[in-house]
């Protein structure tokens, strides 16, 4: 099954997916692909590939300041093609609003369609490094719901320019959800309305931001259902297994770490004890999610295979 939504609707097996980020410019792509290799034995159905806005660099020459983009992590489309060919697993490229005009978005979608890629995760995207707020490109999409609508229109054969007998694309569209709300939203209820606008525009499933408290996910799903969001909601998880992550994850991703998990990590006498304790905590969280009946588990690896591998080993061992 090439589409995420088809798998969710028709397959009785729990869907398991990964998320990776492209390497920095000048780095070897084999480092990313070799990080995926140990996880393939767990049979992931999809692999998401992230995309980020370029870091803008300002150069001064002869008294003239020029602005140029410096893409630290190019290659999302190329990596998707490599994943599809090497692992025979469906890639899910992230497509963002930032740094794209609507015409550039359309061109990218056409390229992905020609490559046989059937799934897109549509995101507004964060501001580039050093920029305090998100600023759309001229003639670009400002909100994720607008990007979803553009993809949905292309699926209907409606291009930005009027064409004679155009072909329709057939993308399955996923979007992001935030159990603790997006950090720019005033509250969770308002954020859920934003999510509903994305689903109403054509999104077929939701992958959540990482979280570490089952109660938060359950309440998020219940509130989403209460306002009419019926799309499948897949929990996104990133293993937390070190003291460094206790500091970095909340600030980078705007999520809370429960006291129980913090205590497990901080009271560990060695790094390996912290690692093992974090894996056990995450495995119990997955167990609760499976008992709740989630349609899949999405694991953020970011190219770091050891912690995701340990988590999946614990989960699959518990399932027998």
Residue with tokens 């190219």: 303
Do 102 and 160 contact (CB within 8 A), yes or no?
Answer: yes
Residue 99 is encoded by which pair of tokens? 């740094």
For residues 34 and 201, give the distance between their C-alpha atoms in angstroms, rounded to a whole number: 37
For residues 277 and 289, give the distance between their C-alpha atoms in angstroms, rounded to a whole number: 19
3.55.40.20, 3.40.50.11540, 3.20.20.220, 3.90.1150.10: CATH of 4-319: 3.20.20.220
pLDDT one-digit tens code per residue, 51-65: 876 555 555 566 665
Neighbours of 36 (CB within 10 A): 20
Do 33 and 86 contact (CB within 8 A), yes or no?
Answer: yes
Residue-wise over 271-300: b if at least 16 C-beta within 10 A, else e?
eeebbbbbbebbbebbeebeeeebbbbbbb
Do 211 and 179 contact (CB within 8 A), yes or no?
Answer: yes
Question: With 60 as the cut, is the pLDDT of residue 32 above it?
Answer: yes
Nearest to 242 by CA among 271, 282, 204, 205: 271
Nearest to 74 by CA among 47, 93, 97: 93
pLDDT confidence tier of residue 116, bands split at 50, 70 and 90: very high
Tell me what percent of the residues of the chain surpass a pLDDT of 70: 91
- Mean pLDDT, the chain, integer: 90
pTM given for the model: 0.92
Partners of 236 in beta bridges: 210, 298
The pLDDT score that the predictor gives to residue 111 is 93
pLDDT one-digit tens code per residue, 148-177: 999 999 999 999 998 988 999 999 999 999
More confident residue, 102 or 21: 102
> What is the CA 294 to chain-centroid distance, rounded?
17
Q: Give the helix ranges, DSSP H, for 156-305.
A: 188-201, 214-226, 243-253, 259-266, 271-292
Residue extents of the structural domains in the chain:
4-319
DSSP per-residue letters across 274-300: HHHHHHHHHHHHHHHHHHHT-SEEEEE
Task: Work out the average pLDDT over 276-290.
Answer: 97
The pLDDT score that the predictor gives to residue 58 is 53
């Amino acid at each position: 099954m090439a589409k995420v939504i088809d798998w969710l609707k028709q397959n009785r097996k729990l869907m398991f997916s990964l998320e990776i980020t492209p390497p920095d410019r000048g780095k070897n792509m084999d480092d990313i692909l070799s990080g995926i290799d140990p996880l393939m034995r767990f049979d992931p159905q999809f692999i998401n590939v992230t995309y980020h806005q370029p870091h803008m660099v300002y150069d001064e020459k002869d008294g003239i300041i020029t602005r140029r983009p410096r893409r630290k992590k190019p290659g999302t489309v190329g990596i998707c093609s490599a994943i599809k060919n090497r692992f025979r697993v469906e890639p899910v490229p992230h497509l963002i609003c930032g740094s794209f005009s609507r015409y550039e978005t359309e061109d990218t979608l056409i390229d992905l369609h020609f490559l046989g890629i059937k799934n897109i995760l549509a995101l507004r995207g964060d501001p580039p490094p050093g920029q305090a707020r998100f600023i759309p490109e001229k003639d670009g999409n400002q909100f994720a719901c607008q990007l979803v609508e553009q993809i949905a229109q292309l699926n209907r054969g409606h291009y930005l320019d009027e064409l004679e007998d155009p072909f329709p694309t057939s993308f399955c569209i996923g979007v992001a959800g935030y159990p603790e709300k997006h950090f720019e939203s005033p509250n969770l209820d308002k954020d859920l309305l934003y999510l509903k606008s994305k689903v109403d525009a054509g999104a077929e499933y939701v992958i959540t931001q990482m979280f570490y408290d089952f109660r938060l996910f359950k309440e998020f799903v219940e509130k989403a259902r209460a306002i009419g969001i019926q799309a499948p909601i897949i929990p996104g998880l990133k293993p937390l297994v070190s003291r460094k992550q206790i500091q970095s994850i909340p600030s980078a991703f705007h999520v809370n770490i429960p006291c129980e998990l913090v205590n497990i990590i901080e009271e560990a006498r060695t790094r390996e004890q912290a690692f093992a304790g974090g894996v056990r905590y995450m495995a119990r969280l997955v167990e609760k999610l499976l008992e709740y009946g989630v349609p899949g588990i999405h694991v953020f690896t970011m190219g770091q295979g050891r912690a995701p591998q340990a988590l999946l080993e614990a989960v699959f061992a518990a399932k027998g």
